[in-house]
A and B are shown apart, each in its own frame.
Chain A
Amino acid sequence: MSQLLDIQRRMAAAVMHPLTKAETMPRRRSDGKLNNAEAESFIKPNDRLTSFERLEIYNRQYWFRLYDSFEDDFPGLLAIVGRAKFDALMRAYLTERPSESFTLRNLGSHLEAWLGAHPEMTAPHTVLALDMARLEWAHIEAFDSAADPLLNEDELIAINENSQLRLQPYLRLLSLQYPVDDLLIDLRNEDGSSDSSSNNASIARRRKHVRRVAAVAPEQIWLAVHRHQNSVYYKRLQREEYRLLESLLNGRPLGEALDYAFTGSEIPEEERSSFLQQAFSTWAVLGWFTK
């Protein structure tokens, strides 16, 4: 193996290894290796710092940077599970799913799946926490995904049951068991994912102070997370609207999507056409239908 690759693998294994509770580099790693011996084998000490201490600077920087970015992205999750649980789940998630992207923006891309597989990390608020994480990830996606050109008036008029309508790439649909949208609006400031890439080091870990959310009563809601004039909004949908949009997003022709939307619906037959007219005109005004 190349010497360069070998050094980089060894240094990355130390740097990306979780810190102790006191946020120092552990003496013994989970792979059994002793960090002191590891550090001495490839890093020079100087007159002020041992090899271990020099390596520790990078170990701490790594985690501080990731914590900072992750906390910026998921303040709602933090408010639900509280600081201690949040720290534990953040450390575990980032250890199991280290970044595989050149941008910190994608740090939370596997969080929903990971939380689903680790309900113990958010108990007893498992469902509420998962709903919040899904909404926060949808917010990040809606913030900077592409916006496609809109259908024009003529194209809108020409829509029929065979039309396969395309929706904005930034539009995200969520079916949630808790009204986490109201919670998050209170918590999150408008600017979406922060200006997260930089090239400086931080002195210490910055902890966000987020007030803990009190008990929330469950309530089934359907949400469209979308963008208007480059601000992210959460729009509540009715069940039928959600099912219709979901079906269109899955590429179904309009006729099929309508059948699916009204399956099991309590909206009387005679009110459906005005219901649809209302929904479509709102979505067209919001610019959701694209070429």
Chain B
Amino acid sequence: MPANRFNGFTEYGVGIGLRVPHYQHILSRKPVVDWFEIISENYMIDGGRPLEILDRILEQYRVVQHGVSMYFGSADPLNREHLKRLKQLVRRTKTPWLSDHLCWGSVDGRYTHDLLPMPYTWEAVKVTAEKIRQVQDFTEVPVVVENVSSYAEFHVSEMTEWEFLTEVVEAADCGILLDVNNIYVSSQNHSFDPFTYVNHVPAERVAQIHIAGHSKFEKYILDTHDHPVLPAVWKLYARAIERCGPTATLLEWDDRIPSFDEVHDEALKANEFLQAVTPKAKADAAQPELQGAAR
């Protein structure tokens, strides 16, 4: 299942987000990393150092693009300039898939630069799915949408978040970037069982998984990406890959960024869980039963 039409039939393992403080380390030490995720917007420029670094990374590593401002859920139409630059970058990176968030963030041409929560309505399903299709058609690469952390819910919502996600990806016929940290954060903020969410997601559409750390406050949890992954999130991750198979996994660390090795080591913890769900591990696990049966 992990290689599917939503991730360009790739079998990527564990990657980390490419961040400026690690540039030097990566270029000089050339560590073995399965893949890097870049924030598209940081490279949708005309020239200069960011693109030079990106090109050097691309010579040695596989790179997947992750966007933060396409705002599929905004009622505003898509920004043509944004689409054009995104497509240029897609040609440069040859990303096998392209992700952005299931959220909104701009209205009447004004940008909040935040990932704002959707009202879970049928109208929003329609608007969002249509825009995802447009981006997919324009960029000619599979688009996958990521669930966000949220701190508010709307009176007008007609369904749960996981129902909304499912309706959108089915209407758009696109993939999912399942962020298990975001599910956990939202489950605490909105008092639902995060496993209900993970169990409901159409597993065959999951192209990639995000893991990350968060910060807990007295009354809510904030998606800060400045900590190691918490045990509760690893549990959710384990359940997600149990359902989806060994899926491309990426650790996000965006603030108070420690050394490259520290970030990479934290990401590689995912391998323990992934190995448990690879076909070989499953076969090995089944082995004792078979032996028992033969006896």
- Say which residue of B48, B252, B255 sits within 8 Å of A144 (CB atoms): B48
A98–B47 touching, CB < 8 Å: no
Nearest A residue to B74, CB-CB: A8
- Measured in the bound complex, the distance between the Cα atoms of B222 and A58 in whole Å is 11
* Nearest CB of chain B from residue A204's CB, rounded to whole Å: 10
State whether the Cβ of B134 lies closer than 8 Å to any Cβ in chain A.
Answer: no
How many interface residues does chain A have, given as a range?
A: 35 or more
- Measured in the bound complex, the distance between the Cα atoms of B227 and A203 in whole Å is 12
Cβ–Cβ < 8 Å partners of A57 in chain B = 151-152, 220, 222
> With contacts A5-B107, A58-B151, A104-B113 known, is A199 near B156, CB below 8 A?
no
Query: How many pairs of A and B residues are in contact by the CB < 8 Å rule?
Result: 175
B154–A44 touching, CB < 8 Å: yes
State whether the Cβ of A167 lies closer than 8 Å to any Cβ in chain B.
Answer: no
A2–B74 touching, CB < 8 Å: no
How many interface residues does chain B have, given as a range?
A: 35 or more
B153–A44 touching, CB < 8 Å: yes
Give residues of chain A (118-151) contacting chain B, Cβ–Cβ below 8 Å. 143-147
A12–B220 touching, CB < 8 Å: no
- Measured in the bound complex, the distance between the Cα atoms of B82 and A100 in whole Å is 12
* Nearest CB of chain A from residue B215's CB, rounded to whole Å: 6
- Measured in the bound complex, the distance between the Cα atoms of B19 and A42 in whole Å is 37
Nearest B residue to A55, CB-CB: B152
B220–A62 touching, CB < 8 Å: no
- Say which residue of B39, B45, B112, B223 sits within 8 Å of A12 (CB atoms): B112
Show the binding face of B for A, using Cβ within 8 Å: 19-20, 39, 41-42, 44-52, 66, 68-70, 74-75, 79, 81-82, 101, 104, 106-116, 119, 121, 123-124, 127, 149, 151-156, 189-191, 212, 215, 219-220, 222-226, 252, 254-255
11 extra interface residue pairs, beta carbon distance < 8 Å, beyond A4-B75, A46-B189, A197-B69: A8-B107, A9-B108, A44-B154, A49-B220, A54-B153, A144-B49, A199-B66, A199-B101, A199-B115, A203-B222, A230-B52
